[in-house]
Amino acid sequence: MEMREKIAAALKTAMKEKDQERLSTLRLINAAIKDREIAMRSEGDGDGTVGDAEVLTIMGKMVKQRQESARAYEEGGRLELAEKEQSEIKVIEEFLPRQLSEEEVNAAIDAAIAKLGANSIRDMGRVMGELKGQYTGQMDFSKAGPMVKDRLAS
C-alpha cells in the first residue's frame, strides 16, 4: 500500500473514531503533500504527483519542525504546546520507517563509500546521494553528512 493510501485510510479511521487530535495532524500531512504537488506542477516537474520517497521526505521535515517547536515551547515554559507538538510527532512517525541506529548509520556510510570507491572529500556528494537513495526517512542526513565528511577527509 502506498504512503498516500495509508494516510487516507488513517484519516478515515480518525474521522470515524472522532479522534480530533490525530485527525488534525493527518490533515496537516495531507496539506503538506498537496502543497508539494502544487509546487511541482508550477516548476514543471513531471506530472505533479508525489511519490513515496517524497512523502517520506516531507514527513521527515515535519517531524524536525515539530521537534524544534517543542524545544522552543519547553524553553519558554509553554509545556501544553510542547506536548501538542510531541503528540503530532508520534502520529507522523507512525508512517515513517524505523530510524537506523548509530551503528547501522555507520555501517551504511561505510558500505556506500566502499560501493562507490569514494576516497576524497570530492566524492561526498555521490556518497550522500547514494545514502539518500537507499535510506530516505530512515536516517538523519544532517547528522550523516558530517560523518561522511570525516570518513572521506581521513
| pLDDT computed for residue 52 by the predictor | 81
Q: Is the pTM of this model over 0.75?
A: no
H or E element at residue 21: helix 20-43
| pLDDT computed for residue 51 by the predictor | 82
From CA 78, how far away is CA 46, in angstroms rounded? 43
Give pLDDT tens digits for 59-110.
888 988 999 999 999 999 999 999 999 999 999 988 888 888 888 888 999 8
- 114, 106 in Cβ contact below 8 A? no
Mean pLDDT in residue range 37-48: 77
| pLDDT computed for residue 48 by the predictor | 67
All structural domains of the chain: 3-93 (1.10.1510.10), 102-153 (1.10.10.410)
